[in-house]
Structure 1
């Protein structure tokens, strides 16, 4: 029968030998750990200087700000990938770059399923930065959000609303949905509706409206100004007036304000009525009217 004391001594001896073995392995790993730390520090320094060099080089070109940020990010990412692979190879000598890449390939499938939304936004951010449209400073409307694009990152885009609120939009939404860019050009067309009374000479009214729009400073005189009679409305004949002005929302509001005031002033001076809605009631039979007291329609003396 085994002695319990001997068994306890054997277990302690095995534990001590395992701890000593682990200590020796840790001591043996210290040089590799030191070298790996140096490699990480060097990688950080190189990535930082490479980012500055890339920034200086892209500043000398006509490259868009979003594309410059993409180039800098890709340079840093490439350097860090190489540095981390070198660090793992130092810490695990049996790990070769080929086996590491193969392992990353299998792991990427699992990671891709787990972080599908993150990678979708990442790829959408890359594609948004590459394409020419939607630059920083553009005024956009997408999925009920409108405002000025402040920054475009790899995963999200920051849009500043007119109320100074900041909206963070995942890049996949901007990439998969229609985006209206109001400031893609310096100018865009604006339009309003103006109505005149039915007894108005439409040719005269058209000339009055056209001259009123042409007199507005914010209206671009190099572009065509349109004044079209477009509809027989309930109480008026409506004109559709179109002109070109600045594309920013502020410029749109200013030009609309000036055009409307100029048209109103010109129609008043020409004696042309801008009618209120008229309602005419008709009845098949006369409606009897009764008075509780005698009414005299004659004027008082």
Structure 2
């Protein structure tokens, strides 16, 4: 009987406490409703202010999320203090700090990618549509989120790259500018007049529409190869991989055609074969006739 009475007393005490907390709970619900309204209003104001800038869409989404999160954290803190009067803003902040540290250790990789995503969006060097290369991944950037970046490979597949990889490793951006320099090596025979060959190559490349002649065309006699003297030909054209391949195709065809018309030979590499003399059994190589 004593156990039953104790249990009933505890239940009655909990019921009385719940009844006394009803006004506080009602106020907390009103505060949460007001927080929802204020969050929407604040986000709309942020959208109006952001609309006057040229921020990328992913960065705008990040700002909206942070504004909404900040308003909701403030509203939840006020509601918690009303429901539990013993709580103070200092104790709540301290509790949030300890909780954040614990969550940070538990989800270290997630937060690392999140912070890397924020920094990638802020620095604005890598844009949607850029063709990049990082850690052997080459493709076009299609989407940047807070945790990962979607890179469409040149062969069509999509690679989901964690933002921490793009932030901690060197990233080569091919399309940072509208044009970049391309090059090809061409060899001519040793009996060729190198000045004439260079002039033929320059004229062939200059006549192409895909080549930006204003930035100059470089033709350097590079080295003495096994069967040819090699020229390094460099020119400026479109920065995308497709534009580079198309311009190189045009350049190679034009150089080949120009050298053929000038009677300049593009030699094959010398191939050395070693033949072994067949010797009958019992004879040395010098004894066979």
1:215 corresponds, among 207, 215, 224, to 207
Equivalent residues in 2 for 1:36-75, closer than 5 Å: 36-75=28-67
Structure 2 CA distance for partners of 1:122 and 1:288, relative to 1, 3 Å: closer
Q: Which residue of 2 aligns with 1:105?
A: 97
Secondary structure in 2 aligned to 1:154?
A: coil
Consecutive unaligned residues of structure 1, counting only runs of 5 or more, are: 1-8, 291-301
Secondary structure in 2 aligned to 1:163?
A: coil
Secondary structure in 1 aligned to 2:215?
A: coil
> Displacement of 1:211 after TM fit?
1.0
Q: Select between 171-180 and 87-96 the one with higher mean Cα deviation.
A: 87-96
CA deviations on 1:215-244 (whole Å, 9 max, x unpaired) are: 111111220110111011122111111111
Structure 2 CA distance for partners of 1:266 and 1:289, relative to 1, 3 Å: farther
In 1, distance between residues paired with 2:200 and 2:53?
50
TM-score by length of 2: 0.87
Structure 2 CA distance for partners of 1:31 and 1:166, relative to 1, 3 Å: farther
Equivalent residues in 2 for 1:57-96, closer than 5 Å: 57-96=49-88
In 2, distance between residues paired with 1:79 and 1:57?
17
In 2, distance between residues paired with 1:54 and 1:83?
18
1:184 aligns with 2:176: yes
CA contact (8 A) 1:66 1:136 kept: no
TM-score by length of 1: 0.84
CA contact (8 A) 1:66 1:135 kept: no
> Displacement of 1:152 after TM fit?
2.2
Structure 2 CA distance for partners of 1:48 and 1:256, relative to 1, 3 Å: farther
In 1, distance between residues paired with 2:127 and 2:238?
17
In 2, distance between residues paired with 1:189 and 1:78?
47
Consecutive unaligned residues of structure 2, counting only runs of 5 or more, are: 281-289
Q: Which residue of 1 aligns with 2:155?
A: 163
Q: Which residue of 1 aligns with 2:3?
A: 11
Q: Which residue of 2 aligns with 1:153?
A: 145
RMSD value, Cα: 2.4
Secondary structure in 2 aligned to 1:227?
A: strand
Q: Which residue of 1 aligns with 2:196?
A: 204
> Displacement of 1:97 after TM fit?
1.2
Structure 2 CA distance for partners of 1:52 and 1:166, relative to 1, 3 Å: farther
1:260 aligns with 2:248: no
In 2, distance between residues paired with 1:265 and 1:217?
16
Q: Which residue of 1 aligns with 2:109?
A: 117
Which 4+ residue blocks in structure 1 deviate beyond 4 angstroms? 280-283, 286-290
Q: Which residue of 2 aligns with 1:5?
A: none
Q: How many residue pairs align between the two structures?
A: 280
Q: Which has the larger radius of gyration?
A: 1
Secondary structure in 2 aligned to 1:149?
A: strand
In 2, distance between residues paired with 1:90 and 1:164?
56
Equivalent residues in 2 for 1:285-296, closer than 5 Å: none
Secondary structure in 2 aligned to 1:222?
A: helix
1:33 corresponds, among 20, 25, 44, to 25
In 2, distance between residues paired with 1:90 and 1:157?
42
In 2, distance between residues paired with 1:26 and 1:229?
91
